[in-house]
Amino acid sequence: MGVTVDEPLVEALLAAAPAVVEAPAAAEKAEIPVVRRRGARSVSEWIREAERIAAGCASMDALARAIDEFGGSPLKATCENTVVYDGIPGASLMVIGEGPGAEEDRQGKPFVGKAGQLLDKMLAAIGRRRTENALISNVNYWRPPGNRNPEIDELAVCRPFVDRMIEIACPKLIVAAGGVPAVSLLNSRDGIMKLRGNEYTYTTPGGYTVPLIPMLHPAYLLRRPQDKSRAWRDLLLMEKRLGELEA
Ligand code: URA
């Protein structure tokens, strides 16, 4: 299948991008609360609880409600909203990012800040839209204070829900946007620069197997537009594999 990506669109976008986005404001940095409250349960007990709850969810609506009600992440205490997914369950493409930032937390939707707007334009360049044919979610559902990376425990309690979402939505291709989801889903010691450009296979504990492609995170591209040719290659690989998987 021929590649029909609108390269000038993405080029223009990346050229217009500000040098730095989503850096925490100084006041916010100074006041990052350290939250370590999970009630009486240990992390492994919360993981088992998440597994039990996720296994009982048969639809995306039920899963989204269950995630919103789940009490196992300490991040819930410091954020405004649970951010679960946006887009079309059942779409061939599922993009999984790192987790909500400030704007996502305000709106309760993934990838709606500056990086999300770039993601939308990058996806549109290969004919994918969250309103039509893409599902968008994250490996963590609650915004970490000060936009820090989610910690291993915080990711671990979300993972049963991530897996269940994949099993319910049945994507043909998962794209891990950025190092956090790529490293976490692939359980890899390598970073995103080594992982991207390749295809992997992801299998959920329930036995759903799906190809996974890591891509550079759009927030990274906004900070380093000079890496746009790498991002471009990520998009071409996504488009090529989606074409094959949908044939
Ligand atoms: N970055 C992510 O990885 N996910 C979002 O939802 C927003 C920004």
CB of 150 shorter than 6 A to ligand 1: no
Residue whose C-alpha is closest to residue 119's, from 20, 217, 19: 217
Q: Are 233 and 3 in contact (CB under 8 A)?
A: no
Sign of the dihedral defined by the CA atoms of residues 100, 103, 107, 110, in that order: negative
Measuring from atom 7 of ligand 1, which residue has the nearest CA? Answer: 111
Q: What is the dihedral of CA 79, 95, 126, 199, to 10 degrees?
A: 140
How far does the centroid of ligand 1 lie from the alpha carbon of residue 35, in Å?
21
Could you list the pLDDT tens digit for every one of the 247 residues in the chain? 444 455 555 565 555 444 333 444 444 444 555 455 556 799 999 999 999 999 999 999 999 999 999 999 999 999 999 999 999 999 999 999 999 999 999 999 999 999 999 999 999 999 999 999 999 999 999 999 999 999 999 999 999 999 999 999 999 999 999 999 999 999 999 999 999 999 999 999 999 999 999 999 999 999 999 999 999 999 999 999 999 999 9
pLDDT given for residue 68 in this prediction: 98
Report the residue among 79, 86, 96, 104 best suited for mutation to probe ligand 1: largest number of ligand atoms under 8 A from its CB: 104
Ligand 1 centroid–CA 170 distance in Å is 21
Closest-lying ligand 1 atom to the alpha carbon of residue 180: 3
Does residue 143 contact residue 100 with C-beta atoms inside 8 Å?
yes
Residue 144 Cβ inside 6 Å of ligand 1? The answer reads: no
Of ligand 1's atoms, which has the minimum distance to the CA of residue 103?
7
Can you give the pLDDT at residue 36?
Answer: 53
Identify the burial level of 75 via C-beta atoms within 10 angstroms of its C-beta, where 0-12 means exposed, 13-18 middle and 19 or more buried.
buried
Residue 126 contacts residue 235 (beta carbons within 8 Å): yes
pLDDT at 40: 79
**Bridge partners of residue 137, in order along the sequence:** 85, 96
- Ligand 1, residue 22: give the atom nearest the CA: 8
Is any ligand 1 atom within 6 A of the Cβ of residue 138? yes
DSSP designation for 246? H
End-to-end CA distance of the chain: 10
Q: How far is the CA of 115 from the centre of ligand 1 (A)?
A: 7
User: What are the φ and ψ backbone dihedral angles of 138, each rounded to 5 degrees?
Assistant: -145, 165
